Structure 1
Amino acid sequence: MKKLKNDKLPCSDNMIIYTIGFTKKSAEEFFKILAYNQIEQLVDIRLNNKSQLAGFTKMKDLRYFLKEIAGIEYYYFDYLAPTKDLRKLVDDWESYSSEYLKLLKSRNVLNRLEPDFFQKSTVFLCSEPMAEDCHRGILTSYLQEHWHNMEVVHL
């Protein structure tokens, strides 16, 4: 992929990536938010997306609900999830952020994610209600540093 002079990867004009956490949202509220924002595809970036604690967002159930309720495609990108060891650092946000960024770089995320994938209205899903307390906020900031014309909207 061709790089620009400022070392940012080209992407479509005014690309918007949304993020959402499901905690503290009812299923009704969650799906209404996605529908209102005309989301076409959801990318699950959670480490634990199969546990009972995930409620209506357990991977298999969520894939079905998204398609049936809102016509949204479901994807799981495990290489965007933190590791179990990294999650132990979550109480030390500075260390957690630093280590998660190192993980993204070691997993070669910028070469694995294609900006063209985000031509469709896309939302990153995680658990935390607020992006500033979640790795999805770190991830989207990292992508903004490297992708040209990318906007982030935290739902």
Structure 2
Amino acid sequence: MLNLYTIGYTEKTAEYFFNKLKNTAAKKIIDVRLNNVSQLAGFTKKNDLAFFLKNILNWEYIWCPELAPTKDILDDYKHKKITWKDYEIRYLELLHRRRIEKVVTKEILADSVLLCSEKSPEFCHRRLAADYLNEKFDNCFSVVHLI
């Protein structure tokens, strides 16, 4: 079975974050955020994270905006115009329309970590993406959420 991990960086120190990553079988981060250059991203800003991953873990950094929700979906949820259940439905429909499994292959996902900002996977699209892709690839992944 292949490994697929997820992690969020909110409320994590850089030390905690990189130690969590180091203790996996992963070799790369797949950034699934819509906005990865915000000042709020701290040590996980796109260019900084790519630098840290390469120099601390010798990992690859991949930004995959195709796995990010649209701004409309994200804004509707943040502004409480839709529920989490509505968000899930719209996001999963988006992945289906994008035929994401043709873009993000099993080989790309193997031994990788899906990165987003949310502290836990419960209300985060990284969990939805991991589950969706795992199903598309006949549940060949052991999905582990790093908290």
Normalised by the size of structure 2, how large is the TM-score? 0.92
Deviations 1:94-136 (A, max 9, x none): 11000001111111101112112234x2000000011111001
Segments of 4+ moved more than 6 angstroms: none
State how far apart, in whole Å, the 2-side matches of 1:60 and 1:34 are. 18
The answer to whether the Cα contact below 8 Å between 1:89 and 1:95 also exists between their aligned partners in 2 is: no
Deviation at 1:32, TM superposition (A): 0.5
Contact 2:3 2:26 in 1 (8 A): no
Which residue does the alignment assign to 1:124?
114
Q: Secondary structure at the match of 1:37?
A: coil
Q: Deviations over 1:36-95 (max 9, x none)?
A: 114210000001100100000000000000100111110001110011100123241011
Task: Say whether residues 1:114 and 2:91 are aligned partners.
Answer: no
Show the counterpart of 2:89.
98
* Other-structure match for 2:74: 87
**Partner in structure 2 of residue 144 of structure 1:** 134
Gaps (5+ residues) in structure 2?
A: none
Matched with 2:6 is 19
* Counterpart selection for 2:39 from 52, 56, 62: 52
Aligned length: 141
Show structure 1 runs of 5+ residues with no match: 1-13
**Which structure: larger Rg?**
1
Q: How does 1:22-33 map to 2 (within 5 A)?
A: 22-33=9-20
Q: CA RMSD in A?
A: 1.1
